[in-house]
Amino acid sequence: MRRKLVMAFGSFDIIHPGHLVYLRKAKAMGDRLIVVVARDSSIEMIKGREPFFDQKTRLDMVGSLKYVDKAVLGKKIAAYKDRYSILMDYRPDVIVFGYDQRVDPKDVKKWAAKRGLKVRVVRAKQALNRGLYKSSKIRALLSSI
C-alpha cells in the first residue's frame, strides 16, 4: 500500500511559529511530508526581492524540522507558470499551501489534472496572529535594527 504523500511549498526565508504550524498541519494530512523550498531566483521572480537567507541555508533549516520528511529545492523556472513542474517528480496525493501564498488552488488542481495527477489541493487556514507571525513583518523588523 502506498503511503499518502503530502507536499508543501514556501520560501521559508525566516522560519517562525506560523511556518511550524503550517508544516505540522500539512504533515497531519498524510504519512510523509516533502517540503519544496523556493530557489533564490524564484523568490526574486515572484516576490521581486532577494531572500534574507540563501537557498542552501533555508533548505537546511526546513530539512531539520521534525515534521519534514524531506526538503527539496524547487526547480529552476523560467516563468511563474512553471513553478509546479516539481509535482511531476513526486506525484503527491495532497498539496498544502499557506493561507497567504499567492496561488489559486483551483488553478493548481487544473494544472495537475491536465498532466494526469489526481491530487487534493488544500489551503491551510491562518493559525496564528497574522500581525506577529508573518515573514515580511519579521524581515522589516530585522532590517530596521
Question: What tens-digit pLDDT sequence spans the chain (145 residues)?
Answer: 668 999 999 999 888 888 999 999 999 999 999 999 999 888 888 778 888 899 999 999 999 999 999 999 998 877 666 778 899 999 999 999 988 888 888 999 999 999 999 999 999 886 655 555 555 555 555 556 6
Which pLDDT score, from 0 to 100, does residue 137 have? Answer: 56
Question: How many Å apart are CA 62 and CA 10, to the nearest integer?
Answer: 10
Distance CA 126, CA 98 (A): 8
pLDDT at 118: 93
How many CB atoms neighbour CB 46 within 10 A?
15
Distance CA 84, CA 81 (A): 7
Structural domains of the chain in order of their starting residue, each with its CATH number: 5-143 (3.40.50.620)
Question: Do residues 79 and 93 lie in contact, with contact meaning Cβ atoms separated by under 8 Å?
Answer: no
Residue 56: is it exposed, middle or buried by C-beta count within 10 angstroms (0-12/13-18/19+)?
exposed
Q: What is the pLDDT of residue 116?
A: 94
